[in-house]
Structure 1
Amino acid sequence: MRLFVFGLGYTAMAFIRSGLPWTRVAGTVRDAGKAGRLREEGIEALALEEAGDAELAGAIGRADALLVCAPPSEAGDPLLVRFGEAVRRAAGLGWIGYLSTTGVYGDRDGAWTDETTPANPQSPASRHRHDAETAWVALGRETGQAVQVFRLTGIYGPGRNALANLAQGTARRIVKPGQVFNRIHVDDIALTLAASLARPRAGGVYNVTDDEPAPPQDVVTYAAALAGIAPPPEIPFERAHLSPAALAFYAENKRIANGLIKRELGVELRHPTYREGLDALYAAGEFQVA
């Protein structure tokens, strides 16, 4: 199985390292330094600003599966604009996965939200994501390629979690009454992508999330208990001095349902809630005070 990835970042690398029998992995990065480091791992990493379009198109054309992780911009998905023709000509592509966000649903006032819920993106970033979803699915309809959209909740895993934040002194317990978020361990994203790879469905849209939407302060409290330290003090939302991006995040409140990945793809989450995820990370030595 030959994989090409637009955006060899945190989530893509978890998928690549998940144990699937890749015979070749190639993809794009932003800078040549990272490309060199990934080549040492056997990944054919190509720096977008240095590789020629013909070289990149050739790599896409040799792939059996394509994963799109890079974000769009207000001008659309630059990768689709630049390499759409290469994707259309890639006759061997049996699976295309587009990583999106549950932000496309907008604010649901805490209501449960599944894939039948109409998209209602409210932030510019979420509107760009929904536009990109639509464009990739349209390409799939045009070419007959199986394009799947994966709407992710808050991603955590090694190096990116409440334990690591506590160790670095950056964890905050911000309290907004009634606010809940879902999250998803990066290994469970990789598990879901692998399940879809085995069962492609053209035009499929999947929520990729855990079982339990929870207040964000509860996650920090649980992590502190695991680490055997006092949690940071609670901060009322109104006094949290959040960035514009964080304010936009807190402006949306919804409970994301994940039944479709279980029913259709047979996914059994390794970390069904933040508790199992943090337990595993702590057992792996994640909490290390600098």
Structure 2
Amino acid sequence: MSAEMTGVLPAVVEDETTETPLVPPGPEVAAPAAASTVVSTAATLEADRVSAWFGQRKVLDRVSLDIPAGMVTALIGPSGCGKSTFLRILNRMHELVPSAQLAGEVRLDGQDIYDPARRLTDARKAIGMVFQKPNPFPAMSIADNVLAGLKITGTKIARPDREALIEDSLTRAGLWAEVKDRLKQPGSALSGGQQQRLCIARSLAVRPRVLLMDEPCSALDPTSTRVVEETIGEIARDVTIVIVTHNMQQAHRVSDQCAFFLAAQGTPGVIVEHGPTDAIFEDPQDQRTADYVHGRFG
């Protein structure tokens, strides 16, 4: 992707919680590895001087961040500082917004995901997304919700392997024990916390290398939040996770490193400071970081 500001093709999205749209799949590819042979394929992500606009309004200014493989990176900062926009740039969802533009590069294990030679479906398969509002497909059963991502990405899986993949994905999402006897029931019949874990299972079924999570617990009760956080801790061994959260206690609990975003009045968002989570919370180098993580503003 050119370092110059480049236009992108517009497409309509309803809001920030809209599910990744169905895109025409390319040729069908082989199924994910069998559940019993899952190994870590977590990837590194590198954002290099990323800037973003909505029309003439610049919302991010030359943001660079290295996201290590197999770790949890939390994006923190007040509302309106560009965290969710940055997250959506990491798997090419920013370009779905009419008038959206961007500059810079996002590299997955060194390869620019915006390279014209890369298929959009390949980027979405490697870099999954879990949204703020749980969004299971209401007309689908629990089992079919788990497998939905395979259809979107054109991934073939033999019928005998489907049950194993469903069980493995739901187990990794911390949901199997609660739903194993009602897999044919609608996913929308689950509680809010269960629906969110179902969405995590749906993302995991395609074996992503990175999983992006946009405030995944903001609509959940404390018990459901705890279970989702435990799930994050479990799957981070195999998948790189980037999470946006406004909950400082949660960021401290679940992440290995943090990046603090801030946008002064009328200016685009930037990263003020980033580093190991303990350092950000216990020994920040910028006073603005200290003020935010200790609740003095935001």
TM-score by length of 2: 0.29
Identify the structure with the greater helix proportion: 1
Higher relative contact order (CA 8 A, sep 6+): 2
TM-score by length of 1: 0.29
Identify the structure with the greater strand proportion: 2
